[in-house]
Amino acid sequence: MTYDIYDFGVESFDRLTGGGIPAGTVASLFGPPGIGKSCLAFRFLSRGFELDQLGLFVSFTSVPVRSMVTKLRGKEAYSALLSTDHPVILSAPDLENPEPMIGLIEKGEVERLVLDRPEVMLYREVSGWFGSLEEILHRARSMGIGTLMIEGRTDGSAGRYLTEGLLRFSDDQNGRRRFEVLKWPRGPKGAVTEEGEGLWPS
């Protein structure tokens, strides 16, 4: 990998994170359901395809991700993701083991990685998946990949222990979405609300 940082392609988010996710870093994104976590993740991947950086979205839930992607059609921020011929989605529950995704990582074919709610496998008591998640994160770091992990829990507990970056979506007192950088490996931290702060993924 020759990249130093993987930007989101969202001006206000990139400013708060000092340009984006540093290579070899894992950042966790958490907040209540329906607030925009997945949209930001898809924007992160779409930005990669704009820059010819291959991205992979790994879903650990049974939610049909392709239907989520279909809802993004017609939105300029996601056009590069929707027009690529590369398969960018793996469904972890359909895999017997994590080797297919680890294989893609080790081949150097992935530069941006999104892990969607990996803690679900722990709740289902799938044997060995916590160790597998640690292995996936270790490989991603060693390959210099920019990794974004979406948490289903609203307290960010997994990100506090497993990642270098911790990002929170919430609502402010006026009902506007708020994005906050709680910890980051380098660069600025802070918070921003969507009003008047440039493009927000939605």
- CA distances 77 to 46, 49, 90, 104, Å, are 7, 11, 22, 26
**Structural domain spans, the chain:** 5-193
Say what the pLDDT of residue 2 is: 55
Q: Which helix (H) or strand (E) holds 116?
A: strand 112-116
CATH architecture of 5-193: 3-Layer(aba) Sandwich (3.40)
- Three-state SS at 69: helix
- Three-state SS at 184: coil
Count other Cβ atoms within 10 Å, centred on residue 91.
17
Answering whether pTM is above 0.95, one says no
**Which residues, in sequence order, are bridge partners of residue 143?**
none
Cα–Cα dist 193/68, whole Å: 24
Residue for token pair 């590369």 = 86
pLDDT tens, residue order, the chain (202 aa): 456 999 999 988 998 999 999 999 999 999 998 888 989 999 999 999 999 998 988 888 777 777 777 788 888 888 888 888 776 777 766 666 667 777 778 887 889 999 998 877 666 555 566 667 788 888 899 999 999 999 987 788 877 888 999 999 998 777 788 899 999 987 777 888 877 565 677 6
